Copies of this chain bind each other. A is one copy, B any other.
């Protein structure tokens, strides 16, 4: 697969950074990830908006314009010959002589096959576990996923699909997905703070606004468990229903009507925007 690294196009195993890079020294880097549908990048402007915002929040200078980034992505897609690809932009702190000061960032863009959720995955739904953890700087798409990876053995042991983070008061997000609930009063609710603003989340909110009352606000753990439907959104998972949380079933154990309607709308949307 093709990789872009600092003005060069390389093969995957040629794309290497020196160990003095701040990503390896201090975990200091940001990224974004989007996919193509029939060769066309989905919601690319939303993703580039967030990529530039993350870079600015981390004081990482970006010397490539949006148009230049789009050209690089097109060239990677051309070289990779993938209809369904996952594009990952990574911007690191650069080679720091003192292992601590931000240097000239390294920009890496990879293009690889992507596995997205299928209609079968939607029907099967997910079992998730709640876990108390508040991500640092959750509004920035940094590379810090230490807690998420540390929790993988727990998920395996409990045969669960994912972990839903909460802080002392509210649920916030999954490590790589946003959370939505449908309340008993048939409102669609999703957290508005202490989480990353997902691009699929944004598009689902826009779709939903035409058919259901939408609220962006804190959701307590009690309200989560009393929800009639729960689902998650992400670039590769699209929309997936959560059918069980810890030991409690949500709804009747099958994807609910609101989740199903939004899923159908979203699948139609991604075919339309390209």
The residues of A with any CB-CB pair to B shorter than 8 Å are: 3, 5, 12-13, 15-29, 58-59, 88, 90, 92-93, 99-102, 108, 110, 133, 136-137, 142-150, 152-153
Q: Are the C-beta atoms of A93 and B149 separated by less than 8 Å? A: yes
Question: Which residues of the partner chain B approach A13 to less than 8 Å between Cβ atoms?
Answer: 18
Bound complex: CA A143 to CA B5 (Å): 23
Q: Are the C-beta atoms of B146 and A28 separated by less than 8 Å? A: yes
Of residues A100, A102, A146, A150, which shows the largest number of chain B Cβ atoms within 10 Å of its Cβ? A146
Q: Are the C-beta atoms of B110 and A22 separated by less than 8 Å? A: no
Bound complex: CA A92 to CA B23 (Å): 11
Given contacts A146-B136, A149-B102, contact A18 B12 (CB under 8 A): yes
Q: Are the C-beta atoms of B24 and A145 separated by less than 8 Å? A: no
List 7 additional contacts besides A17-B17, A17-B19, A144-B144; criterion CB under 8 Å.
Answer: A3-B19, A24-B143, A27-B143, A27-B144, A28-B145, A100-B148, A136-B136
Given contacts A19-B5, A29-B24, contact A147 B153 (CB under 8 A): no
Q: Are the C-beta atoms of A19 and B90 separated by less than 8 Å? A: yes
Shortest Cβ gap from A11 to chain B (Å) = 10
Bound complex: CA A133 to CA B136 (Å): 9
Bound complex: CA A65 to CA B88 (Å): 37
Q: Are the C-beta atoms of A90 and B143 separated by less than 8 Å? A: no
Closest to A102 in B: B149
Question: Which residues of the partner chain B approach A136 to less than 8 Å between Cβ atoms?
Answer: 133, 136, 144, 146-147
Closest to A99 in B: B88
Question: Which residues of the partner chain B approach A59 to less than 8 Å between Cβ atoms?
Answer: 150, 153
Q: Are the C-beta atoms of B23 and A27 separated by less than 8 Å? A: yes
Question: Which residues of the partner chain B approach A28 to less than 8 Å between Cβ atoms?
Answer: 145-146, 149
Bound complex: CA A25 to CA B86 (Å): 14
Give me the 4 closest cross-chain CB pairs, A-B, nearest first.
Answer: A27-B27, A16-B16, A26-B145, A27-B143
Shortest Cβ gap from A59 to chain B (Å) = 7
Bound complex: CA A110 to CA B21 (Å): 13
Question: Which residues of the partner chain B approach A93 to less than 8 Å between Cβ atoms?
Answer: 149
Q: Are the C-beta atoms of B27 and A146 separated by less than 8 Å? A: yes
